[in-house]
Amino acid sequence: MSDVHGSIRDFWDRDAETYDLSASHAVSDPLEAAAWRSALRRALPEPPISVLDVGAGTGSLSLLATELGYRVTALDLSEGMLSKARQKAAARDLELSFELGSAMAPPDGPFDAVIERHVLWTMPDPAGALRAWRKVTATGGRLVLFEGVWGSHAPADRARHAVAGMVRRAMGIADHHHAPYPDEVLEALPLARMPSPAPLIDAVYESGWAGVRIQRLRDVEWAARLHEGWPLGWLEHAPRYALIADSV
Protein backbone atom coordinates (compact mmCIF):
# COMPACT_ATOMS: atom_id res chain seq x y z
CA MET A 1 0.00 0.00 0.00
CA SER A 2 2.84 2.42 0.82
CA ASP A 3 4.29 1.87 -2.68
CA VAL A 4 0.93 2.74 -4.25
CA HIS A 5 0.64 5.80 -1.98
CA GLY A 6 4.09 6.99 -3.07
CA SER A 7 3.34 6.33 -6.74
CA ILE A 8 0.16 8.40 -6.52
CA ARG A 9 1.97 11.27 -4.77
CA ASP A 10 4.76 11.25 -7.37
CA PHE A 11 2.23 11.15 -10.22
CA TRP A 12 0.49 14.31 -9.02
CA ASP A 13 3.76 16.11 -8.23
CA ARG A 14 4.74 15.65 -11.87
CA ASP A 15 1.23 16.41 -13.13
CA ALA A 16 1.22 19.79 -11.37
CA GLU A 17 3.19 21.24 -14.29
CA THR A 18 0.47 20.48 -16.84
CA TYR A 19 -2.74 20.10 -14.83
CA ASP A 20 -3.94 23.71 -15.08
CA LEU A 21 -3.49 23.80 -18.87
CA SER A 22 -7.03 22.42 -18.94
CA ALA A 23 -9.57 25.16 -18.26
CA SER A 24 -11.88 22.56 -16.71
CA HIS A 25 -9.14 21.43 -14.32
CA ALA A 26 -8.22 24.97 -13.34
CA VAL A 27 -11.81 26.29 -13.62
CA SER A 28 -10.23 29.27 -15.36
CA ASP A 29 -13.06 29.75 -17.86
CA PRO A 30 -15.47 32.37 -16.42
CA LEU A 31 -18.56 30.38 -17.42
CA GLU A 32 -17.24 27.18 -15.82
CA ALA A 33 -16.27 29.13 -12.69
CA ALA A 34 -19.78 30.56 -12.42
CA ALA A 35 -21.28 27.08 -12.80
CA TRP A 36 -19.01 25.69 -10.06
CA ARG A 37 -19.88 28.56 -7.69
CA SER A 38 -23.54 27.66 -8.14
CA ALA A 39 -22.79 23.99 -7.50
CA LEU A 40 -20.93 24.83 -4.30
CA ARG A 41 -23.72 27.06 -2.99
CA ARG A 42 -26.38 24.43 -3.76
CA ALA A 43 -24.46 21.66 -2.03
CA LEU A 44 -23.05 23.46 1.02
CA PRO A 45 -24.76 25.19 3.97
CA GLU A 46 -24.74 28.97 4.14
CA PRO A 47 -21.30 30.59 4.63
CA PRO A 48 -19.35 31.29 6.68
CA ILE A 49 -18.65 27.73 7.77
CA SER A 50 -15.40 25.78 7.87
CA VAL A 51 -14.77 23.58 4.82
CA LEU A 52 -12.07 20.97 4.28
CA ASP A 53 -11.26 20.49 0.59
CA VAL A 54 -9.62 17.05 0.34
CA GLY A 55 -7.33 16.50 -2.62
CA ALA A 56 -7.53 20.21 -3.35
CA GLY A 57 -4.90 19.99 -6.07
CA THR A 58 -4.13 23.37 -7.59
CA GLY A 59 -6.92 24.90 -5.53
CA SER A 60 -9.73 25.29 -8.07
CA LEU A 61 -12.67 24.63 -5.74
CA SER A 62 -10.85 25.90 -2.64
CA LEU A 63 -10.44 29.32 -4.19
CA LEU A 64 -14.03 29.49 -5.44
CA ALA A 65 -15.36 28.46 -2.02
CA THR A 66 -13.19 31.10 -0.35
CA GLU A 67 -14.59 33.73 -2.72
CA LEU A 68 -18.07 32.68 -1.61
CA GLY A 69 -17.23 33.35 2.04
CA TYR A 70 -16.34 29.87 3.31
CA ARG A 71 -13.37 29.31 5.64
CA VAL A 72 -11.38 26.81 3.63
CA THR A 73 -8.58 24.39 4.45
CA ALA A 74 -7.02 22.90 1.30
CA LEU A 75 -5.48 19.46 1.87
CA ASP A 76 -3.38 17.64 -0.72
CA LEU A 77 -0.81 14.87 -0.86
CA SER A 78 1.24 16.67 -3.52
CA GLU A 79 3.48 19.61 -2.66
CA GLY A 80 3.66 20.40 -6.39
CA MET A 81 -0.11 20.82 -6.56
CA LEU A 82 -0.35 22.84 -3.34
CA SER A 83 2.44 25.13 -4.52
CA LYS A 84 0.32 26.06 -7.53
CA ALA A 85 -2.70 26.61 -5.26
CA ARG A 86 -0.73 28.93 -2.98
CA GLN A 87 0.44 30.97 -5.96
CA LYS A 88 -3.09 31.37 -7.28
CA ALA A 89 -4.44 32.33 -3.86
CA ALA A 90 -1.76 35.00 -3.51
CA ALA A 91 -2.48 36.35 -7.00
CA ARG A 92 -6.18 36.65 -6.14
CA ASP A 93 -5.52 38.02 -2.65
CA LEU A 94 -7.48 35.19 -1.02
CA GLU A 95 -6.79 33.88 2.48
CA LEU A 96 -7.16 30.16 3.18
CA SER A 97 -5.21 27.43 4.93
CA PHE A 98 -3.04 24.85 3.16
CA GLU A 99 -2.18 21.42 4.56
CA LEU A 100 0.27 18.98 2.98
CA GLY A 101 -0.77 15.43 3.81
CA SER A 102 -2.70 12.30 3.02
CA ALA A 103 -6.47 12.23 2.65
CA MET A 104 -6.33 9.26 5.02
CA ALA A 105 -5.05 11.54 7.81
CA PRO A 106 -6.92 14.86 7.55
CA PRO A 107 -6.33 17.73 9.99
CA ASP A 108 -8.27 17.50 13.25
CA GLY A 109 -11.00 20.02 12.56
CA PRO A 110 -13.82 19.85 13.42
CA PHE A 111 -15.05 21.01 10.02
CA ASP A 112 -18.61 21.88 9.13
CA ALA A 113 -18.22 20.33 5.69
CA VAL A 114 -15.83 18.18 3.68
CA ILE A 115 -15.66 18.46 -0.10
CA GLU A 116 -13.69 16.74 -2.83
CA ARG A 117 -13.62 16.75 -6.64
CA HIS A 118 -12.60 13.61 -8.55
CA VAL A 119 -10.42 12.36 -5.68
CA LEU A 120 -11.92 9.18 -4.26
CA TRP A 121 -11.26 7.16 -7.40
CA THR A 122 -7.53 7.77 -6.82
CA MET A 123 -7.58 6.14 -3.37
CA PRO A 124 -6.75 2.51 -2.53
CA ASP A 125 -9.10 2.62 0.49
CA PRO A 126 -11.96 5.02 -0.29
CA ALA A 127 -14.20 3.80 2.53
CA GLY A 128 -11.33 4.26 5.00
CA ALA A 129 -10.81 7.80 3.73
CA LEU A 130 -14.50 8.57 4.09
CA ARG A 131 -14.41 7.30 7.69
CA ALA A 132 -11.40 9.52 8.41
CA TRP A 133 -13.23 12.53 7.02
CA ARG A 134 -16.31 11.78 9.10
CA LYS A 135 -14.20 11.76 12.27
CA VAL A 136 -13.06 15.34 11.64
CA THR A 137 -16.55 16.59 10.70
CA ALA A 138 -18.83 18.13 13.30
CA THR A 139 -22.10 16.38 14.11
CA GLY A 140 -24.64 17.64 11.62
CA GLY A 141 -21.84 18.44 9.18
CA ARG A 142 -21.92 17.67 5.50
CA LEU A 143 -20.03 15.60 2.95
CA VAL A 144 -20.02 16.76 -0.69
CA LEU A 145 -18.42 14.60 -3.36
CA PHE A 146 -18.14 16.16 -6.81
CA GLU A 147 -17.74 13.24 -9.19
CA GLY A 148 -18.49 12.03 -12.70
CA VAL A 149 -19.18 8.89 -14.68
CA TRP A 150 -15.91 8.39 -16.54
CA GLY A 151 -15.89 4.60 -16.91
CA SER A 152 -19.06 3.88 -18.86
CA HIS A 153 -18.98 0.48 -20.56
CA ALA A 154 -21.76 1.37 -23.01
CA PRO A 155 -20.58 0.79 -26.60
CA ALA A 156 -21.68 4.28 -27.70
CA ASP A 157 -19.72 5.95 -24.88
CA ARG A 158 -16.60 3.88 -25.56
CA ALA A 159 -16.84 4.77 -29.24
CA ARG A 160 -17.23 8.49 -28.47
CA HIS A 161 -14.14 8.48 -26.28
CA ALA A 162 -12.12 6.62 -28.90
CA VAL A 163 -13.14 9.16 -31.56
CA ALA A 164 -12.28 12.01 -29.16
CA GLY A 165 -8.78 10.58 -28.78
CA MET A 166 -8.37 10.45 -32.56
CA VAL A 167 -9.65 14.03 -32.91
CA ARG A 168 -7.19 15.27 -30.28
CA ARG A 169 -4.29 13.58 -32.05
CA ALA A 170 -5.38 14.85 -35.47
CA MET A 171 -5.75 18.42 -34.19
CA GLY A 172 -2.52 18.27 -32.19
CA ILE A 173 -4.34 18.92 -28.92
CA ALA A 174 -2.34 17.50 -26.04
CA ASP A 175 -3.79 15.64 -23.10
CA HIS A 176 -3.42 17.88 -20.05
CA HIS A 177 -2.21 15.05 -17.82
CA HIS A 178 1.50 14.32 -18.20
CA ALA A 179 0.82 10.57 -18.42
CA PRO A 180 -1.88 7.97 -17.67
CA TYR A 181 -2.00 6.18 -14.33
CA PRO A 182 0.13 3.01 -14.44
CA ASP A 183 -1.90 -0.20 -14.75
CA GLU A 184 -0.52 -1.58 -11.48
CA VAL A 185 -1.78 1.52 -9.65
CA LEU A 186 -5.21 1.38 -11.31
CA GLU A 187 -5.58 -2.24 -10.21
CA ALA A 188 -5.22 -1.12 -6.57
CA LEU A 189 -8.01 1.50 -6.83
CA PRO A 190 -11.51 0.09 -6.14
CA LEU A 191 -13.36 3.12 -7.55
CA ALA A 192 -11.29 3.64 -10.70
CA ARG A 193 -13.32 3.75 -13.92
CA MET A 194 -16.69 3.80 -12.12
CA PRO A 195 -19.49 3.19 -14.67
CA SER A 196 -22.12 4.39 -12.17
CA PRO A 197 -22.35 6.33 -8.86
CA ALA A 198 -23.63 3.18 -7.15
CA PRO A 199 -20.24 1.92 -5.80
CA LEU A 200 -19.55 5.37 -4.38
CA ILE A 201 -22.93 5.50 -2.65
CA ASP A 202 -22.18 2.09 -1.10
CA ALA A 203 -18.80 3.35 0.16
CA VAL A 204 -20.38 6.47 1.70
CA TYR A 205 -22.92 4.41 3.63
CA GLU A 206 -20.28 1.83 4.61
CA SER A 207 -18.18 4.58 6.17
CA GLY A 208 -20.99 5.80 8.44
CA TRP A 209 -22.40 8.83 6.65
CA ALA A 210 -26.19 9.18 6.39
CA GLY A 211 -28.93 10.60 4.19
CA VAL A 212 -27.16 10.23 0.86
CA ARG A 213 -28.68 12.23 -2.00
CA ILE A 214 -27.50 13.13 -5.48
CA GLN A 215 -27.65 16.21 -7.72
CA ARG A 216 -26.80 16.15 -11.43
CA LEU A 217 -24.41 19.01 -12.31
CA ARG A 218 -25.94 19.84 -15.67
CA ASP A 219 -24.79 23.47 -15.56
CA VAL A 220 -21.17 22.35 -15.05
CA GLU A 221 -21.50 19.84 -17.92
CA TRP A 222 -23.00 22.54 -20.16
CA ALA A 223 -20.29 25.09 -19.34
CA ALA A 224 -17.49 22.57 -19.99
CA ARG A 225 -19.07 21.50 -23.29
CA LEU A 226 -19.37 25.12 -24.49
CA HIS A 227 -15.83 25.96 -23.46
CA GLU A 228 -14.31 22.89 -25.14
CA GLY A 229 -16.27 23.56 -28.32
CA TRP A 230 -17.33 21.23 -31.10
CA PRO A 231 -16.60 18.36 -31.56
CA LEU A 232 -14.59 17.62 -28.40
CA GLY A 233 -17.11 19.18 -26.03
CA TRP A 234 -19.73 16.72 -27.24
CA LEU A 235 -17.45 13.71 -27.70
CA GLU A 236 -15.91 14.02 -24.22
CA HIS A 237 -19.11 14.87 -22.38
CA ALA A 238 -19.66 12.79 -19.24
CA PRO A 239 -22.40 12.97 -16.57
CA ARG A 240 -21.27 14.86 -13.47
CA TYR A 241 -22.94 14.93 -10.10
CA ALA A 242 -22.70 15.97 -6.46
CA LEU A 243 -23.17 13.20 -3.90
CA ILE A 244 -24.18 14.70 -0.56
CA ALA A 245 -24.43 13.07 2.87
CA ASP A 246 -24.60 14.05 6.55
CA SER A 247 -22.51 13.36 9.63
CA VAL A 248 -24.63 11.98 12.48
pLDDT at 157 over 70: no
Helix locations, 97-182, DSSP H: 126-135, 155-171
What span, in angstroms and rounded, lies between the C-alpha atoms of 9 and 78?
6
Q: What is the pLDDT of residue 104?
A: 95
Q: For residue range 139-155, what is the model confidence (pLDDT) as tens digits?
A: 999 999 999 987 666 77
- pTM (2 d.p.): 0.91
Q: What is the pLDDT of residue 243?
A: 98
Q: In the chain, what are the domain boundaries?
A: 2-246
What span, in angstroms and rounded, lies between the C-alpha atoms of 143 and 51?
10
Q: What is the pLDDT of residue 178?
A: 56
Q: What is the pLDDT of residue 247?
A: 98
Average pLDDT score over residue span 102-108: 96
CATH number at 2-246: 3.40.50.150
Q: What is the pLDDT of residue 173?
A: 64
